A and B are shown apart, each in its own frame.
Chain A
């Protein structure tokens, strides 16, 4: 399973890419495989404020709706508009064009999140 080294991960299968005062969030390759074909996404609106661990988005396959949790707290700045017409981007390019939303983090600390190797280890259990 693909887990890029430059990202941080939540146990609930979200990834986060920290860039200065902005962070991009998506779901991992493992998560998209488990979900199967994504056919609908509910994304947060810019300006929405969240705490770490809040339900912030929903990703739906034919079979089920799955909640996505905010890996960090802060204010949402952008949602990936391309997903509304092509939610399958989440399956095809989970770490790049299939990102879900961008957030201005309240804190730049990601110590509570996992490194790629730590996250990969959770998948082996």
Chain B
């Protein structure tokens, strides 16, 4: 990978908005606009708009594309009907995660993949090797715009931009739509735990849609949001981040995402035997939610976790929850894990801090 940092196609919008930019996965991206807490609360209470142009958008087409994807992905692409999408994994031979992704079916022989920026090149290289006359993959980094509109007001805001007569898609569905005179794909998914949409479009249309959404959403309290709020929102919703909660060495079953690994079908996708076995007998390590206490040091990635005197694992993601007012974390611990409600401790700067095992959908612990 080269040392150069790519600018988002929405960079000039962000500059105007006074965003603070940071390098992330080879991209220069907004970490915050008005402030992380403000953006976080806006998304929970009204709506937030996130630039996700760094995420890889890959088109997969051809008469052999379904079989090709069936042999690569952990979830079953054949289950998807036209216009439907689901969460899936591209596993390695050991069942670990090369990438977690969203797969949409646009037609009988056409799929659309949204992958992480940090893994885009690797996924692209891997897919290229599988190409043949029946399966083609297109879409390189920086060639398209993506944005996520999330929050209880997201539907009302987006409805103002939708063409007359075209309804918003249902949850986990995707539609083609003309937005600001450009071609776009509008999907109803997200990474915040709120209702919301992801909009994928070309470099010319993207900045127009971004600006227009900010404008029409303003009366509803819509704010542009950065990577900071994206991380705190996804963790409150218990959603994993590849590279932390999932990795080459942390497989989906260990990460508590075994539901998205379909072993009921005959396809020999990579890592299948490991994942199938762990689904059957249980993984050696499991991911649990942890909650801290108000006024205590917040949990962070990499902190050791103790049950009694024994270290049972490590925090994979952790932060002080803006909504709840105490620390929340996902931790990968040895099986069997302490039960829900059991006291554990994590170690912060050489000191033990009390926590409890809790549901990973942290907002439901309220």
Contact = CB atoms under 8 A, between A and B. Distances in A.
Interface in B147-180: none
Given A39-B320, A40-B320, A42-B297, A62 B37 contact: yes
Contact of B298 (A36, A39, A84, A85): A39
Interface residues on A, range: 10 to 19
Given A39-B320, A40-B320, A60 B36 contact: no
Nearest to B227: A63
B323 to A, nearest CB: 11
B349 A62 contact: no
A36 B35 CA distance: 7
A26 B348 CA distance: 22
Contacts of B228: 36, 62-63
A65 interface: yes
Contacts of A61: 36
B297 A62 contact: no
Contacts of A12: none
B349 A42 contact: yes
B231 interface: yes
Contacts, number: 41
A3 interface: no
B315 interface: no
Nearest to A85: B295
A75 interface: no
A8 to B, nearest CB: 27
Interface string A36-56: 110110100000000000000
Contacts of B36: 36-37, 61-63
B300 interface: yes
B36 to A, nearest CB: 5
B232 A62 contact: yes
A48 B218 CA distance: 50
Contacts of A65: 298, 300
Given A36-B35, A36-B36, A42-B349, A63 B298 contact: no
Contact of B297 (A37, A40, A63, A85): A40
Interface in A59-99: 60-63, 65, 84-85
Contacts of A36: 32, 35-37, 228
A58 interface: yes
B115 to A, nearest CB: 24
B200 to A, nearest CB: 27
A60 B298 contact: yes
Contact of A63 (B295, B319, B348, B349): B319
A40 to B, nearest CB: 6
Interface string B227-267: 01001100000000000000000000000000000000000
Nearest to B320: A39
Contacts of A42: 297, 348-349
Nearest to A37: B37
A64 to B, nearest CB: 8
Contacts of B297: 40, 42, 58, 60
Given A36-B32, A37-B36, A62 B319 contact: yes
A37 to B, nearest CB: 5
Nearest to A63: B228
The 8 closest A-B pairs by CB, nearest first: A37-B37, A63-B228, A39-B320, A62-B232, A62-B36, A36-B36, A62-B319, A62-B320
Interface of B: 31-32, 35-37, 40, 228, 231-232, 295, 297-298, 300, 319-320, 322, 348-349
Interface of A: 36-37, 39-40, 42, 58, 60-63, 65, 84-85
Given A62-B37, A63-B231, 9 more contacts: A39-B320, A42-B297, A60-B297, A60-B298, A63-B31, A63-B319, A65-B298, A65-B300, A85-B295
